[in-house]
Amino acid sequence: MTKSIVFYTAALLGVLSFANGLFMILAPESWYWLIPGVPDRGPFNQHFLRDIGIIYTLMGVTFIVGAIYKSLRFSLWLLPAAWLTGHAIFHIWEVLVGICGPESLLQDFAGVTLPAILALWLSYISYQGVRNE
């Protein structure tokens, strides 16, 4: 049961990350205006959004490949988990210093905090697999 949950969680996180990244690369202005809260955090910058889109597409690939190849999971999932966690911490910091209101944490949860939590969980599970081999 746990093996299939890990596989499907990683595959879903991978597909969503990859799709988000492609959207950011191919239609950065549409992405900017469509995602709630993004315009509140700064002016539109297509270069920056495309740069971040590249990161998301690469993360998507790492989660998908790790879902398929168990032996590569830990090494593939650790860095995306670190980036997603840093991203979530940065969003919390923005609230703590008054850049955004606390409501932004709820608004961002599905797209920022939840992926970080899932990526950390996947990294932990993959680490347990490496440690037990």
Tens-place pLDDT, residues 3-62: 899 999 999 999 999 999 999 999 999 999 999 989 988 999 999 999 999 999 999 999
Average pLDDT, the chain: 95
Q: What is the mean pLDDT of residues 81-85?
A: 98
Tokens 């597409």 appear where? 57
Distance, CA of 64 to chain centre: 13
pLDDT at 99: 92
| CA atoms of 44 and 28, how far apart (whole Å) | 9
Is the pLDDT at 119 greater than 90? The verdict is: yes
52: Cβ contacts below 8 Å, ≥ 6 apart: 21, 24
pTM to 2 decimal places: 0.92
Tally the domains of the chain: 1
Q: For 61, how many CA atoms within 13 A lie in the half-sphere containing its CB?
A: 7
| CA atoms of 77 and 119, how far apart (whole Å) | 7
CA distances from 91 to 87, 122, 131 (A): 6, 21, 32
| CA atoms of 117 and 46, how far apart (whole Å) | 28
CA distances from 120 to 44, 75, 128, 129 (A): 30, 13, 12, 14
Domain that holds residue 121: 2-131
Residue count of the chain, please give it. Answer: 133
